[in-house]
Amino acid sequence: MSKRGLLHGEISNRIIGLFFQVYNELGPGFLEAVYANAMFVALTDAGLRVEREVPIAVYFRGRRVGIFRADAVVESVVLLEYKAGERLDPSCETQALNYLQGCYLELALLLHFGPRPVFKRLVMTNDRKLLPDP
């Protein structure tokens, strides 16, 4: 951790707290869409600006090569990727890192609503990417 703290630490910590609230209220076993809807309610009730199913361009060598849809983006700085099921597959982390690699967002939270709630904070700063100037 740097002297400045976590990247978007205040927002991401609020999101993680709301993730645990949603998990504790609903428990495990629902489809991902139920948790996505509940997170939207919790985030907006907390006064956070949330966009759902956000189309984000993916760049390669400075050129747009595709589009993916982020489950949610909070305050235009934190990408959220929701997962539900028995276990969090390692490919989910790779997927979220690939999303960060191809866009200008630098922080992703992988939120798993499984038998136990699990979150992962993933960072990829823009100085490590080949993106066109915004």
Q: Is the pLDDT of residue 105 over 80?
A: yes
Domain topology for 9-128: Trna Endonuclease; Chain: A, domain 1 (3.40.1350)
Backbone angles phi, psi at 55, to 5 degrees: -75, 125
pLDDT band at 118 (very low <50, low <70, confident <90, very high): very high
Q: Give, for 52, the enclosing helix (H) or strand (E).
A: strand 50-60
Say how far apart CA 33 and CA 62 lie, in whole Å: 33
Say how far apart CA 51 and CA 53 lie, in whole Å: 7
Q: What is the largest CA-CA distance in the chain?
A: 44
Q: Is the pLDDT of residue 2 over 50?
A: no
pLDDT of residue 134: 65
For the chain, what is the mean pLDDT? 90
The tens digit of pLDDT for each residue in 59-100 reads: 788 788 889 899 999 999 999 999 998 998 888 898 898 888
> Residues near 2 by Cβ (< 8 Å), separated by ≥ 6?
none
pLDDT of residue 4: 61
pLDDT band at 111 (very low <50, low <70, confident <90, very high): very high
Q: Is the pLDDT of residue 120 over 50?
A: yes
